[in-house]
Amino acid sequence: MKPLVNFEELTPAIRFAEDLKPVLYQPDQLRENFPAYYMYRDCSLSEEDARRIAELGLRYDYTVIPPARIGEEFIKTYGHYHPIHREISYPELYQVIEGRAVFLLQKRGEREDELLDFIAVEVKEGEMLLVPPDYGHVMVNPSDERLVTSNWVCRSFQSLYEPYARLRGAGYYLTAGGWVENRNYRKLPEVREGGSAASELFDVDGEMYHLLEKPELLGVLTNPEKHREVFEKALDVD
């Protein structure tokens, strides 16, 4: 799928492999620093769209992750949680524009090193994924092609990276040899693997930028507490 916005003309923020060191399975295997992924934030097709997106309290971004491995582990994003808004945390909606992604979603218990749930969702070109409230997320490129994603997200918060840094990544690492448990967690549920239901929940043809024409659907991202039933379905991966 060709991205609607010609984001490659924009200047990205870059996360380098060295930046990922605190969350890697095998940090010692990092031999050279390289750009791990490119983040093109706050994209739009026109000035008018940019104003509407801001008025809705949203942001539309693209992320590009070229294929790579560090040691046995597939290249991935750093990982983060979102802050709480009226009792539950902000969700986020992703679409794979090019390539294939595996999203690692995890829910903390009372302690951050005791997970209540760990879901791995494979998302293919054109498909969407809803990161439910209260789930931390990491995006992995397990393929030998570049991965391009877009995301809709509430524009008014800062992501929380510290829990991932403290525990050296998510509950599991996705490696060429399969899943590897992260021993820094005291409690880890089994990995629940599945597909994503978000494409059925968000009715859109082609790139999800067009959801801008259906702002009522995007309301789940800014007022999650009013849409709890949507998230129940998003978690139904089995």
Ligand X SMILES: O=P(O)(O)OC[C@H]1O[C@H](O)[C@H](O)[C@@H](O)[C@@H]1O
Query: Is the CA virtual torsion 96, 131, 234, 208 positive or negative?
Result: negative
State the nearest-atom distance from the C-beta of 89 to ligand X, in Å. Answer: 13
> 205: which residues sit within 8 A by CB, 6+ positions away?
none
Binding site for ligand X (CB under 6 A): 15, 39, 41, 61, 63, 77-80, 92, 151, 153, 159
Q: Report the residue number, 90 or 185, with the smaller CB distance to ligand X.
A: 90
State the nearest-atom distance from the C-beta of 231 to ligand X, in Å. Answer: 17
Q: Report the residue number, 15 or 146, with the smaller CB distance to ligand X.
A: 15
State the nearest-atom distance from the C-beta of 162 to ligand X, in Å. Answer: 12
State the nearest-atom distance from the C-beta of 176 to ligand X, in Å. Answer: 22
Q: Report the residue number, 67 or 229, with the smaller CB distance to ligand X.
A: 67
State the nearest-atom distance from the C-beta of 149 to ligand X, in Å. Answer: 8
Q: Report the residue number, 153 or 230, with the smaller CB distance to ligand X.
A: 153
Q: Which residue type sits at 233?
A: K
Q: Report the residue number, 137 or 229, with the smaller CB distance to ligand X.
A: 137
Kindly tell me the burial class for residue 193, based on how many C-beta atoms sit within 10 Å of its own C-beta (0-12, 13-18, 19 or more).
middle
* DSSP string over 133-178: TTEEEEEE--SSS-EEEEEEEESS---B-HHHHHTTSSSEEEETTE
* DSSP string over 120-131: EEEEETT-EEEE
